[in-house]
Amino acid sequence: MSLRPIMLTRPPVEIMINEGFWDELIEAGFRDVCVSWMTFLNEVEGGEPLPSHEEARPRVLSFFDNKCGTYEYIPVISPDNELYDGLNLLPPHRSNEYDSLFKDLYSAFEQAKSKGMNLYLFDDKSYFEEVGYPANEDGSRGFRCWNDPEVADYLISRTRDYSNQLPMFSGIVLDGPDYKWEIAPGERDDLFAEQCDCRHCVNAAHEMGLDLLEMIGALDSFKLELQQLDDERVEGFLLTTRGFLGAVDWWLSHPDLLNLLRFKYSTIEDHLERVYEGIKKYLPEYQVMASSRTPSYISLTGHALPRRVGYTDFQLPKLYLWAGNQPGFRYTVKNYVDTISAWNPNLSKKNVVALTERILGIEFPEDYPVERFNDPAPSSFYKEIAGDEMKKMIHLVKDPDKLIPFIALEHFGGPQIEPREVRDLLTSLEESGISRYIFFHYGVITDPVWDVLTEFTE
């Protein structure tokens, strides 16, 4: 077995101060660690209840004395304010009382490095309201559109700040941003909801000769179109788009949708390029890795894997395959089927499934139809559907050694993929020729899953 995984961690970072943490990883074959988020935990009233119920590693649970409390996140570094000069976004403050804990953590990272560990940062994402993310001048925190160039500039300053204070780190994983890709109403990633129309987005569209509001209007019309399907229309669509050229008529009759995709591609590229070049200017040796969604619906999110080769060192598409909750692949695919069905109760089930397959470019395995997607997936799913996603990634990126897909059991407490499924997934990965992955995240790994992961390490 010959996979080289990156282990991603979540708070508490305090567990890393114990030497046993690094030895456990090294023994299991992990030589790369990505630290997300770079925060200590402090027990306070009204904070976030932790540990989350999916936490399973004894080392994490013992930090919490095996009971639940409420915690606030304390940034590990005290910012060097000069690095943020001229920015309206301000880095989070950290009081001096954590200086000695920082020193302990610093030594732990040095020790990890001396044991042969590669350490990576995770981006201090600056566009969501989260811990450690920047405040506006008035102290408020909130959504920051990535089309505001300051968001990229802040991320560059923040990376320099970490790199100065934690010089043993050698790279950073950028997480997103992604435009949305879901169609089920009310979902976090519903592509028909909340297309940002801030002045930065309007300007970015204007510079491309496009009208943002017209494109948003086209999205509304497209949603209406998806709600007015019948068997004749769908069968006609399936027939005429069977060939590559057949889809041209459809796209040309939806010019604003095509423009919206161009807008998404262009703005994601501008943001990532700005971040990449900004980091490389100061830290040329830093490895910059960028996440994306899986190829089936990546175009909706604004990422073009082949183009990103020019402004990322490694590509980290999310092979998040679970059902049950977002942003799992099976969950999203089932939502497409269920939502199209709910919007068009007269449409035959067969046509709903065929339309979903055509839109996403997937084929459901015969022994695992979409209505069974909430059940554990058979090996055929990992071999065929997940295997195809891997092949698409390789084709788009060209070099499998530049691919480090994200793998996880689930997010936010939904049903987890089983240890046997993890084995099937890693088997498919190995067979595909991709030799690395990044696991999200250390805290949730049960012993049986740990055993599977270690079976596949070098």
Interacting residues toward Zn ion by CB under 5 A: 145, 147, 196, 198, 200-201
CA distance 158 to 148: 16
DSSP line for 137-179: TTS------TTSHHHHHHHHHHHHHHHHH-TTEEEEEE-----
Residue closer to Zn ion by CB (options 264, 423) is 264
CA distances from 250 to 235, 246, 344 (A): 14, 8, 20
Residue closer to Zn ion by CB (options 15, 205) is 205
Neighbour-count burial for 101-138, b at 16+ CB within 10 Å, e otherwise:
ebeebbebbebbbeeebbbbbbbbbbbeeeebbbbeee
- Least gap, CB of 200 to Zn ion (angstroms): 5
CA distance 126 to 23: 33
Residue closer to Zn ion by CB (options 146, 237) is 146
CA distance 178 to 190: 12
- Least gap, CB of 268 to Zn ion (angstroms): 12
In single-letter form, the type of residue at position 356 comes to T
- Least gap, CB of 302 to Zn ion (angstroms): 12
Select the residue whose beta carbon is closest to Zn ion and give its number.
Answer: 145
Residue closer to Zn ion by CB (options 174, 201) is 201
The conformation of residue 127, written as its DSSP 8-state character, comes to S
CA 149 to chain centre: 21
CA distance 92 to 157: 13
- Least gap, CB of 207 to Zn ion (angstroms): 14
- Least gap, CB of 198 to Zn ion (angstroms): 3
Residue closer to Zn ion by CB (options 3, 196) is 196
Residue closer to Zn ion by CB (options 125, 200) is 200
Residue closer to Zn ion by CB (options 41, 201) is 201
CB 411, CB 332: distance < 8 Å: no
In terms of C-beta density within 10 A (0-12 exposed, 13-18 middle, 19 or more buried), how is residue 339 classed? buried
- Least gap, CB of 177 to Zn ion (angstroms): 10
Residue closer to Zn ion by CB (options 146, 329) is 146
- Least gap, CB of 440 to Zn ion (angstroms): 27
CA distances from 206 to 8, 144, 150, 197, 256 (A): 39, 20, 19, 12, 14
CA distance 241 to 248: 8
- Least gap, CB of 150 to Zn ion (angstroms): 12
